[in-house]
């Protein structure tokens, strides 16, 4: 097959799961011989990281979605004539979709990563040829928001197993100063409402009542809710029981250091971090929200790859944590199945291959 030229558009300032998936996609496409052009806001971490990694970056003015940025993209695409324009966030579609309109670009693709209702459904109906949803739950939200089913494809996230396996348990536990005889619970997630941190904080009261100082929860990630969540912690638990770490670049070490990974989301597109956890062989307690069942399956008990609880249910979350810590041997077969499932279905190579199949549907041979 001939090489493609793909223009990737990102308007995000920070670095979260969507940006990491876009980076992995660009890396994989480059390995396959395809040309990647990155259009990203000039002050964003995505532009900085991709330029460091050797990609051709076109910095966008302002927020990346204003009139000047639209003009920048449209002018560039008239001369560069990409085969595919891939919008990696909703705001990228807003400006970039208008910039691409009428240029005859064979494939205009947008990624949809969250299971929130779509506010501007007309953009997804009129400005793109295809919506790539990261899970069946997200695909369902797209359909409910008026996106025609024939425009929707599901391509799950993927991770680089080598990065996850580079983690070191001793190094991770030393970095958070936790003794060997204490159980370490970990959550890695942006501090936003849909991740459900407040329900986990409430659950920790019951956990600490039983285990005292032999258990500790660390919350890695930044976000606008941090002050409120810290106040919520102080209301429900001793400060020493729950630590807020902020953004961390040593997540593989933290995953290896943890005895349990807990994700209490009540809405979730997919959560690629869970794939890392599965490969790290850390037992998982999570909810049935959104696209999480795509990753871990819907089975509980025998044959499960994670312990599942209902969303927004602190007592169920506390009971699951205590049961898991009381019988850690029972978790060994669960982590075996989780690792095997992640390596079979959710690697970066599989994500790249799935995305390329979508491109080829729309780009003439």
**Residue 139, pLDDT score:** 97
pLDDT digits (tens, 9 = 90+) for 238-247: 888 999 999 9
CA angle in degrees (0–180, nearest 5) for 211-214-215: 80
Chain segment 145-189, per-residue pLDDT in tens: 999 999 999 999 999 999 999 999 999 999 999 998 999 999 999
Task: State yes or no: pLDDT of 321 exceeds 80.
Answer: yes
57-116 confidence digits (pLDDT tens): 999 999 998 999 999 999 999 999 999 999 999 999 999 999 999 999 999 999 999 999
Amino acid 268: pLDDT: 96
Name the band, by pLDDT with cuts 50, 70 and 90, for residue 118: very high
Determine the Cα–Cα distance for residues 185 and 215; give it in Å rounded to an integer.
7
pLDDT by residue (tens digit) across 7-22?
999 999 999 899 999 9
CB atoms within 10 A of CB 31: 10
- Report the candidate in 4, 61, 19, 50 with the shortest Cα–Cα distance to residue 247: 19
Beginning with the edge strand found earlier in the chain, give each strand of the sheet holding 130-133 in spatial order. Answer: 56-60, 35-41, 5-10, 84-87, 107-112, 130-133, 152-154
* Neighbouring residues of 126: CB distance < 8 A, sequence distance ≥ 6: none
| pLDDT-based confidence at residue 364 (cuts at 50, 70, 90) | confident
Question: Across residues 332-358, what is the average pLDDT?
Answer: 96
**Res 160: pLDDT:** 96
Residue 73: alpha-carbon gap to chain centroid: 26
pLDDT surpassing 70 at residue 280? yes
Distance CA 311, CA 318 (A): 12
How confident is residue 299, by pLDDT bands cut at 50, 70 and 90? low
- Structure confidence at residue 81 (pLDDT): 97
User: Among positive and negative, which fits the CA dihedral 330, 336, 342, 347?
Assistant: positive
The gap from C-alpha 256 to its chain's centroid, in whole angstroms, comes to 19
Q: What letters, b where the CB count within 10 A reaches 16 and e where it falls short, cover 135-169?
A: bebbbebbeebebeeeebbbbbbbbbbeebeebeb
Q: Are 138 and 269 in contact (CB under 8 A)?
A: yes
Average pLDDT, the chain: 95
Does 2 or 255 have the greater pLDDT score? 255
Q: Are 275 and 345 in contact (CB under 8 A)?
A: no
The CA distance from 271 to 261, in Å, is 13
Report pLDDT for 146: 94
Q: Is the pLDDT of residue 302 over 70?
A: no
Close Cβ partners of 218 (under 8 Å, ≥ 6 residues apart): 176, 184, 185, 186, 187, 242, 243, 245, 254
Indicate the pLDDT class of residue 294, thresholds 50, 70 and 90. very high
The 10s digit of each residue's pLDDT in 215-243 is 999 999 999 999 999 999 999 988 889 99
Instruction: State what percent of residues in the chain have pLDDT above 90.
Output: 91
Quick one: pLDDT at residue 239? 84
Question: In this predicted structure, what is the pLDDT of residue 309?
Answer: 96
Domain annotation for the chain: domains and CATH numbers: 5-158+347-362 (3.40.50.2000), 161-345 (3.40.50.2000)
Q: Would you say the C-alpha torsion 136, 296, 20, 217 has a positive or negative sign?
A: positive
Res 301: pLDDT: 64
| Cβ–Cβ under 8 Å, residues 125 and 150 | no
What b-and-e string marks burial along 12-26, b requiring 16 or more CB atoms within 10 Å of the CB? beebbbbbbbbbbbb
The CA distance from 140 to 149, in Å, is 9
**Mean pLDDT calculated for residue range 123-140:** 96
pTM, full prediction = 0.93
């Amino acid at each position: 097959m001939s090489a493609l030229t793909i223009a990737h558009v990102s308007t995000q300032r920070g670095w979260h799961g969507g940006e990491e998936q876009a980076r992995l996609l660009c890396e994989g496409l480059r390995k396959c011989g395809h040309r990647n052009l990155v259009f990203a806001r000039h002050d964003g971490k995505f532009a900085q990281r991709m330029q460091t990694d050797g990609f051709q970056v076109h910095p966008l003015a302002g927020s990346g979605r204003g009139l000047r940025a639209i003009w920048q993209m449209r002018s560039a695409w008239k001369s560069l004539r990409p085969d595919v324009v891939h919008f990696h966030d909703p705001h990228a579609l807003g400006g970039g979709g208008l910039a691409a309109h009428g240029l005859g670009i064979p494939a205009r693709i947008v990624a949809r990563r969250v299971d929130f209702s779509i506010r501007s459904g007309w953009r997804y109906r009129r400005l793109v040829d295809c919506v790539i949803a990261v899970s069946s739950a997200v695909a369902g939200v797209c359909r409910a928001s008026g996106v025609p089913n024939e425009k929707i494809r599901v391509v799950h996230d993927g991770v680089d197993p080598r990065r996850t396996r580079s983690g070191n348990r001793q190094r991770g536990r030393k970095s958070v100063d936790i003794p060997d005889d204490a159980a370490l619970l970990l959550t890695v997630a942006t501090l936003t409402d849909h991740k459900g941190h407040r329900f986990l904080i409430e659950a920790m009261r019951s956990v600490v009542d039983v285990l005292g100082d032999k258990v500790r929860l660390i919350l890695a990630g930044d976000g606008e809710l941090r002050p409120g969540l810290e106040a919520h912690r102080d209301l429900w638990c001793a400060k020493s029981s729950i630590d807020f770490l902020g953004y961390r670049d040593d997540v593989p070490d933290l995953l290896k250091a943890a005895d349990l990974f807990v994700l209490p989301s009540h809405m979730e597109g997919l959560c690629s971090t869970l794939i890392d956890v599965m490969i790290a062989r850390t037992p998982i307690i999570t909810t049935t929200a959104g696209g999480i069942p795509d990753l871990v399956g819907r089975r509980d008990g025998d044959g499960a790859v994670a312990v599942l609880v209902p969303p927004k249910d602190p007592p169920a979350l506390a009971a699951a944590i205590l049961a898991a810590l009381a019988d850690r041997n029972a978790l060994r077969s669960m982590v075996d199945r989780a690792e095997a499932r992640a390596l079979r279905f959710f690697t970066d190579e599989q994500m790249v291959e799935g995305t390329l199949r979508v491109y080829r549907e729309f780009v003439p041979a």
